[in-house]
Chains A and B, each alone.
Chain A
Amino acid sequence: MQLVLEKRAERSNTIALISPLIAIGLTLVTMSILFAILGKNPISALGVYFIDPLTDSYSLQEIAVKATPLVMIAIGLSLCYLANAWNIGAEGQFLVGAVAGSWLAVKTQGTDAGPWVLPAMMLLAAIGGALYALIPAICKVRFGASEILTSLMLVYVADLLLDYLVRGPWRDPKGFNFPTTAEFDPVAAVPALIEGGRLHLGGVIALVVVAAVAVLLGKTIKGFEIRVVGAAPRAARFGGFNSNQLILLTFAISGALAGLAGIIEVAGPVGHLQPGISPGYGFTAIIVAFLGRLNPVGILIAGLFLALTFIGGEQAQIAMKIPLDVTKVFQGILLFYVLACDSLILYRFKLVFASPKVSSGAH
């Protein structure tokens, strides 16, 4: 007897729509059981995770701040993935963008440069990220090198470049040798939206990006080409779409967005360039892109939801002394259920009984 996955003849659109909700529901049930085993009241634990962060403006701001880089990177990645180009190196593009933008901040430090500094930093970051993303893309279209490997490996190169700069040439001369640049000047900092709050201009930029990409995908020919090249490469070839050009384009856009996210993070919440500016945003964004089903609005929601689990997890550590590991388990379970539910929309389980080949009268 065997258990196999069998493709469904037709897929239900209703189920496809509510499948993420089913996944979240199953996650909540599983987590409740886990909380109960840990000796915590499941209802209050889930309340701390999901409801409390939504009840005050402080936590809502924090969710937005956390979601900003995730959404921006994931939006770019979704374009790549839709076009069947596998950019795994957004983390590196994020770092290179941060470095490229910070260059200007460091160079203009202490001078009375005007308010043009921040926009110029953002432009540099986007260009830096795009150029860095084009390396694996060009290797792919020119030499056929696997972009998955090359883009991933370039993450470590970017990491070491950043490390070198903040330990060497860009180190804060008054910083006792600690590996960080001096705090950026106010003209080089991303302004806060609310006085004294942490919500910053980056959140607005992320929303603009979501809207722009939604229009690109839904209303333009380029967007149509991207989707066709990914979904039906043969049809795209017959249609005369240049898939190599699209690989370069999607990589460049995704690198630019990751780079922009990088400088916004550095010039915003962090305030200076240092190692460890990204707790793995470039990789978490891959999860966000797929949780959001490669759809701009879906990605926005997925990014906010994942940010909610981070903030809620932290509040659970404080309020209920629930260990950090539980938050990680929680995120893992959520991803598992989302993928499982998605698979079961397209496939179903079937028990296959071994055919009665073993004859009974052999001896």
Chain B
Amino acid sequence: MKKILIAATAAMLVTGAGLFGASAADKLKVGFIYIGPVGDLGWTYQHDLGRLAMLKELGDRVETTFLENVSEGPDSERSIEQLARAGNKLIFTTSFGYMEPTLKVAKKYPNVHFEHATGYKRDKNMSTYSGRFYEGRYIQGIIAAKMSKSGVLGYIASFPIPEVISGINATMLGAQTINPNIKVKIIWANTWFDPGKEADAAKALIDQGADIIMQHTDSPAAMQVAAERGKLAFGQDSEMIKFGPKAQLTSTMNNWGPYYIERVKAELNGTWKSEDFWGGLKSKIVVMAPYTNMPDDVKKLAMETEAAITEGKLQPFKCPIVGQDGKEVECKGGTHLDDGQVLGMNFYVKGIDEKIPGK
């Protein structure tokens, strides 16, 4: 045994050095930090599809590395810095909780470019990017109001952050165009990804009379529950039809490929600039899954709404918008709420009976 040990140690010492940087030195190195496993079939999975789409187009000039399951706690700064040290010149950090760590590492590595998803802090070498997911929610609201018999929607929410609040509001604004008396019940799962909790929330919502399940969490568990109980549901982040072939109405899918291609191209051409990108249906960052399990007239209405939003003819947050307190919300964007109001949204629209947690 000792001999094996000595031999192994010696061999390691000889070959250990100089492993980095030997291969593909002339390719641009691009790094990704993922919050979940690439196989979560939701948020991280879609980012990884985006990475693969980018590789398909630019693979001859680009090499990618990803770190998965990176917790948002103390480990993330190290993981991001590891990628920077390994020679990655463009690094995408794909969850909100990476904001401060990304900012710290960006200050340390001024020659590396960073892109942080869904955050609001930027720097000379740190961009932010996100999707206008509320556009898809508005369409879902219209479909939900058309399809619901009980007039009660069940909503599984993650954290009471503006992205989630604006999604709930957009859903209700869409639904109210069909049924002004529509109700929504909200359960806060306090997680992005926990199939067990998400399934429990879906069951509880159905037991409370909801017949349409919507979610702002990442796993297909709620879809499976809806399918078992013979209810309808919307997918989240990715195509979830195989988890509920008779249940899924559509899914608001995150399609990061076009953005990753554009940004990596900019990096290759030396034209990368720090920006704040917020794309929706028009830039194909938000894509709707096929409309299924609904009558043709609902399908037609959904497609018309989608087209109107894409063309900019329809604004989900069109003024006047009335808050829960009955007062009209200030209309900073002229005909609709401006981006700042949506990005910092911290109120419910009229028609929602619940309270924002912690408010």
Contact = CB atoms under 8 A, between A and B. Distances in A.
Interface string B91-115: 0000011001000100010000000
A270 B72 CA distance: 10
A276 B159 contact: no
A171 B358 contact: yes
B15 A318 contact: no
Interface string A46-83: 11101110010010001001100000000000000000
Contact of A62 (B11, B15, B19, B78): B78
A21 B5 contact: yes
Contact of A163 (B8, B69, B190): B190
A65 B67 contact: no
Contacts of A183: 100
Contact of A167 (B77, B104, B358): B358
Interface string A203-243: 00000000000000000000000000000000000000000
A276 B69 CA distance: 13
Contacts of A50: 12, 16
Contact of B83 (A25, A43, A270, A318): A318
A48 B22 CA distance: 14
Interface residues of A, number: 51
Which interface class (under 10, 10 to 19, 20 to 34, 35 or more) fits B? 35 or more
A147 interface: no
B222 to A, nearest CB: 22
A319 B74 contact: no
Interface string A270-281: 111010111100
B300 interface: no
A277 B15 contact: no
A318 B165 CA distance: 36
Interface stretch (A104-112, A122-130, A174-182, A291-299): A174-182
Given A168-B358, A178-B161, A314 B79 contact: yes
Nearest to B159: A179
A279 B74 contact: yes
B67 A47 contact: no
A196 interface: yes
Contacts of A58: 85
A152 B100 CA distance: 31
A148 interface: no
A47 B20 CA distance: 11
A318 B159 contact: no
Contacts of A284: none
A113 interface: no
A331 interface: no
A270 B75 CA distance: 9
Nearest to A58: B85
A13 B170 CA distance: 71
Given A44-B15, A318-B86, A323-B68, 8 more contacts: A48-B16, A171-B358, A196-B108, A271-B104, A276-B97, A318-B67, A318-B83, A321-B65
30 contacts: A22-B1, A25-B1, A25-B4, A28-B8, A43-B12, A44-B16, A51-B12, A55-B16, A55-B17, A66-B78, A167-B160, A176-B120, A176-B161, A176-B162, A177-B160, A177-B161, A198-B77, A269-B74, A270-B74, A271-B100, A274-B72, A274-B97, A276-B71, A279-B75, A314-B79, A315-B82, A317-B66, A318-B31, A318-B83, A319-B86
Interface of A: 21-22, 24-26, 28-29, 32, 43-44, 46-48, 50-52, 55, 58, 62, 65-66, 163, 167-168, 171, 176-179, 183, 196, 198, 265, 269-272, 274, 276-279, 311, 314-315, 317-319, 321, 323-324
The 4 closest A-B pairs by CB, nearest first: A51-B16, A47-B16, A269-B74, A25-B5
